[in-house]
A and B are shown apart, each in its own frame.
Chain A
Amino acid sequence: GDSVTQMEGPVTLSEEAFLTINCTYTATGYPSLFWYVQYPGEGLQLLLKATKADDKGSNKGFEATYRKETTSFHLEKGSVQVSDSAVYFCALSPGGGADGLTFGKGTHLIIQP
């Protein structure tokens, strides 16, 4: 079945550091890929998405590129802020009319001032 693998963390960085959170997936067909974020005390919210190979999703300074050849969707940000501290979830939607997201286990990101 479909699956998503991401580094679990916690990942601790200093403010203004470069961030990469790795995400790889296994899926049949042509999934759409997502990053969701859960800030402390809040619900999950969509950060960015990409629906086909080579698409780049971007939002709030974060980027991720849908790489079919490496089945990856790594999340990057050039300069993190304390306010980016949260849990980040990589997810896929299988496509082909099926529905329901398959999530990774989440990566807890801690940014220190």
Chain B
Amino acid sequence: GQNIDQPTEMTATEGAIVQINCTYQTSGFNGLFWYQQHAGEAPTFLSYNVLDGLEEKGRFSSFLSRSKGYSYLLLKELQMKDSASYLCAEHRHGNNNDMRFGAGTRLTVKP
């Protein structure tokens, strides 16, 4: 929804690497957030990218290409607890911290 596209579901194996892609509309774009949401829980902040390139934070990394309107979240050494929805959210110019979410990618990690 809201011109932010990400896959609905993904499945990966414990210990593997998975990449979750997100595309967004570029007009008015300021930065890109990634949130993790376990079933029945609140979304929690993972990362924020405003400049092009890869930002690494432990097992999780996030990449941004402003010219392509594209981001991805990379999860390494997957653990069972990483099974969750991953929400891509676009921060736009204008209103304070106006954040528009994608529909989320539900990741299932299997043993």
Are A and B interaction partners? no
Interface residues of A (CB under 8 A from B): none
Interface residues of B (CB under 8 A from A): none
